[in-house]
Amino acid sequence: MNRFGRTVAALALATAMALASGCGGSDSDADPGTDAKDLKKVTYLTSFGNFGRDSYAWVAKDKGFFEKAGFDVEIKPGQGTGGVIPAIVSGQAQFGPIDLTGGLLHMGNGQAKDFVAVAAIQQHTMAAIATTEGNGIATPKDLEGKRLADTPGSVVRNLFPTYARLAGVDADKVTWVNGEAQTLMGTLAGGSVDGIGQFVVGKPTIEAVTKKKAVLLPYSDVIPDLYGNVLITTKKIAEQDPEMVRAFTSALLKGLEYSLAHSKEAAEILKRNVDATNPTAAAAELELMSAYVAPEGSGAPIGTLDSERVAKSIEILEKAGALPKGMAPEQIIDVDLAPKA
């Protein structure tokens, strides 16, 4: 069995055990004693639009995981780390995923505060520059003289100076233009830019939209050991209602686990909720993402956060000159609320 097969098989077994113990399987599995009016209303932002990589939230809602945990969840599309953080901090939403490295950059540089990570969605960063064959980009150095698009506050864009420095690229020779999460791939297909900021799991969707072979430059090739997306809430909510945070996190992670074990079903659930979904591409994104959520050999439950690894990420960013000295892991993560290894 290959690496992906082993990962999904393990996730499928864990999910089957959870379902057998009454953790939910459909909307009809919700606690019959739970009245709709008693459910706590929560707004959740996806990380970046409504692609397959974010379908697990829709799965958690469709399968009744949120309802069984006591929540009535409204899911809205996020616009990357730079959009999700201010929406959470301002109270427009209560939960959403951001790239942890992007969160560190925002917090360390004074762009944002008052939020905290309570679970990891991906154990390794999926940030990348994406392009297609024929645009003359095969290595990081090829980015010089090129035109790239991304949302203004995305982690790919904010982390690019660090990536460029470590990859030997002159960042001043790369032009960035603004784009929106849902239209970036169309912008690439139209030829007005040479590349876009994207997660590595976006490859199937890029190829579906552009009708060309995708080429990706993963940041993890140059900056190892960085976490990917993490679930955040406000520090106020974490401090005042930790049990609510734990219950929501558990329900969301059940959706994540189920989605990875049933990628085609998860893609169909996303399609029912988001008309523009390409189910084949969405399922492929989930299959690619599994290795980032539950790396082979890690042995750690989904969602765990390690303060020592976060400290190492901070050290990498400090040495690259991207963060001021003195940041500590507890400023951005709450290990007491995160799932335990």
pLDDT per position as a tens digit, 272-281: 999 999 999 9
- Virtual CA dihedral for 285, 290, 296, 298, nearest 10 degrees? 140
Domain co-membership, 120 together with 236: yes
Domain co-membership, 65 together with 119: yes
What CATH number does residue 62 fall under?
3.40.190.10
Domain co-membership, 23 together with 117: yes
Domain co-membership, 189 together with 230: no
Per-residue pLDDT averaged across 140-150, rounded? 98
Domain co-membership, 150 together with 288: no
Last residue of a domain, one of 206, 221, 236: 221
Report DSSP letters for 22-85, one per residue. TS-SSGGGS-TT--GGGSEEEEEE-SEES-GGGHHHHHHHHTTHHHHTTEEEEEE-EE-HHHHH
- Where on the phi/psi map is residue 24: left (φ > 0), alpha (ψ -120 to 50), or beta? left
What's the confidence (pLDDT) of residue 34? 53
Does a structural domain hold residue 336? no
Does a structural domain hold residue 252? yes
Domain co-membership, 193 together with 151: yes
pTM of the predicted model over 0.85: no
What's the confidence (pLDDT) of residue 173? 98
pLDDT greater than 60 at residue 63: yes
What's the confidence (pLDDT) of residue 214? 97
Which of 119, 85, 104 minimizes the C-alpha distance to 230? 119
- 95 vs 8: which has the higher pLDDT: 95
The pLDDT tens digits for 1-52 are 444 344 444 444 343 433 333 333 344 344 544 566 799 999 999 998 899 9
pLDDT greater than 80 at residue 187: yes
* Alpha-helical regions (H) of 191-306: 203-210, 235-240, 242-261, 263-273, 279-293
Does a structural domain hold residue 277? yes
Domain co-membership, 164 together with 21: no
Buried b / exposed e over 91-123, threshold 16 CB at 10 Å, is eebbbbbbbbbbbbbbbbeeebeebbbbbbbbb
Last residue of a domain, one of 221, 248, 275: 221
Domain co-membership, 14 together with 74: yes
Distance CA 7, CA 136 (A): 35
Distance CA 9, CA 3 (A): 10
Does a structural domain hold residue 84? yes
What's the confidence (pLDDT) of residue 212? 96
Q: Are 203 and 216 in contact (CB under 8 A)?
A: yes
State the number of CA atoms in the 13 A half-sphere of 245 facing the CB. 26
Residue 297 exposed, middle or buried by CB count within 10 Å (0-12, 13-18, 19+): exposed
What percentage of the chain carries pLDDT values higher than 70?
Answer: 87
What's the confidence (pLDDT) of residue 298? 64
What's the confidence (pLDDT) of residue 92? 98
Does a structural domain hold residue 215? yes
Last residue of a domain, one of 221, 245, 268: 221
Does a structural domain hold residue 340? no
Does a structural domain hold residue 213? yes
pLDDT greater than 50 at residue 110: yes
Does a structural domain hold residue 337? no
DSSP 8-state secondary structure symbol assigned to residue 277: -
pLDDT greater than 80 at residue 296: no
Q: For the chain, how many structural domains are there in total?
A: 2
The tokens for 259 are 């989605």
Determine which of 89-93, 131-135, 323-327 has the lowest per-residue pLDDT on average: 323-327
| Strand partners of residue 116 | 233
Domain co-membership, 35 together with 98: yes
Structural domain span for residue 97: 3-124+226-331
Distance CA 335, CA 313 (A): 16
pLDDT greater than 70 at residue 158: yes
The pLDDT tens digits for 205-260 are 999 999 999 999 999 999 878 999 999 999 999 999 999 999 999 999 999 999 99
Determine which of 14-23, 152-161, 192-201 has the lowest per-residue pLDDT on average: 14-23
Domain co-membership, 34 together with 156: no
What's the confidence (pLDDT) of residue 26? 40
Domain co-membership, 24 together with 142: no
Cα–chain-centroid distance for residue 242?
Answer: 22
Domain co-membership, 63 together with 78: yes
Which of 119, 23, 15 minimizes the C-alpha distance to 66? 23
